[in-house]
Copies of this chain bind each other. A is one copy, B any other.
Amino acid sequence: MNSNVTPIRKQNKRRENELVILQAAEKVFAEAGFGGATMQLIADVAGLPKANVHYYFSTKEELYRQVVSNIFEVWLAAAGTFEAASGPAEGIGAYIDAKMEISRTHPAGSKVWASEVMHGAPIIQDYLETKLVAWTNGRIDVINTWIAAGLMDPVSPRHLLYLIWSSTQHYADFGHQIQTLNTGTPLTDDDWQAAKTAVKQIILKGIGVKT
């Protein structure tokens, strides 16, 4: 009886395979774009037959949507630093740190997101219109209170957010270009530290926050 409940072992198997497929898909989508990615290649990277991938994700678009959704969640979660902060030095500084860390540890996800948005967000437009709009407006309010309290210069909160997003995500999305300019070798720990420091230093000083 109870045909609606899947046993635990089976559930684990399902979760495991879904995870393997999602990770493979994120990588392939990031490298080839939605149009360039093939289900066959995703299956190969995941180490499964193509038909098995279709068993868990019936269409390419559904799989892609899952990938983008996951990225969006990671993205939003890492922004919690903002709210708890007592002022811009701590709040924005920690936010930049968190976003730089995502660019370093999650570059494929960032690329998929960028690719999706660049192509007009055909799949996740609803996310943009609801969740992202709400989140953005909330942070704009926070920044405005900081400005009103004289904790930072009266800069446009909206464009400040864009500046933070772009400068931090650049290290993921354009990682290949950065590596090429870095004598062709990947950034070291020190390189990443220098990048983080430079971005924070310029932006924080640029908005009149003492560090």
Contact = CB atoms under 8 A, between A and B. Distances in A.
Contacts of A181: 128, 132-133, 136, 158
Nearest to A174: B117
Contact of A201 (B155, B178, B194, B199): B155
A34 interface: yes
Contacts of A170: 162-163, 165-166
A194 B155 CA distance: 10
A207 B198 CA distance: 10
A58 interface: no
A34 B31 contact: no
Contacts of A206: 201-207
Given A115-B115, A194-B156, A31 B201 contact: no
Interface residues of A, number: 56
Copies of the chain in the assembly: 2
Contact of A33 (B119, B155, B159, B174): B119
A205 B203 CA distance: 9
A206 B204 CA distance: 7
Contact of A160 (B120, B166, B198): B198
A149 interface: no
A173 interface: yes
A-B complex: 10 closest residue pairs judged by Cβ atoms:
A35-B36, A206-B206, A166-B170, A35-B35, A202-B206, A159-B198, A33-B33, A166-B166, A156-B198, A128-B180
Interface of A: 30-37, 111, 114-115, 117-121, 125, 128-129, 132-133, 136, 153, 155-156, 158-160, 162-163, 165-167, 169-171, 173-174, 176-178, 180-181, 184, 194-195, 198-199, 201-208
12 contacts: A30-B118, A33-B115, A35-B35, A114-B173, A120-B176, A128-B177, A129-B184, A133-B181, A163-B167, A165-B174, A202-B203, A204-B206
